[in-house]
Each structure stands twice: as C-alpha cells, then as structure tokens.
Amino acid sequence: MAEFYRKKKKICQMCAGKSVDYKDVMIISKYINEKGKIMPRRMTGACAKHQRNIGQQPK
C-alpha cells in the first residue's frame, strides 16, 4: 500500500510574532514573487487577517 505523508501545516509568521514592514526587504520578499505580485495565502501560509495587512504594506 502507498504511504501518504502528512504535509506540515504552515503557520502564520505574524501570529508567531514577526511583523511585516515594507522597509524590511528580506521579510517582504517572502510574500512577493519575482514579478512583484503578492503571493496568495495558500503559498505564504498567512492567516486571512494578516494576508490583508501584507497586501497593504507594499502600496
């Protein structure tokens, strides 16, 4: 029988205590792809509340 591995659930980094600031390039680059678009929640692992905050930071 095939073995299925559980995928580790991504946790929201902002809920864990880190803040996202548009001035901090290293952190904001995790949420923006190479074309400059904001990555979706399912890829970043952010909760809905903080994903909206991520969307407002670069603007």
Residue 20 lies in a domain: no
The parent domain of residue 34 ranges over 25-56
Q: Is residue 13 part of a domain?
A: no
Indicate whether 4 belongs to any domain.
no
Q: Name the residue among 8, 51, 49 with its Cα closest to residue 32.
A: 51
Q: Give the Cβ contact number of residue 46 at 10 Å.
A: 25
4-57: pLDDT as tens digits: 777 777 788 888 888 888 888 888 888 889 998 999 998 888 999 989 988 887
Report the pLDDT value the prediction gives residue 11, as an integer from 0 to 100: 83
pLDDT, position 40: 92
Q: How much is the pTM?
A: 0.69
Number of domains in the chain: 1
Residue type, 6: R
Q: Is residue 1 part of a domain?
A: no
CB 31 within 8 A of CB 18: no
| 36 inside domain | yes
pLDDT band, very low/low/confident/very high, at 59 (cuts 50, 70, 90): low
Q: Is residue 7 a part of any domain in this protein?
A: no
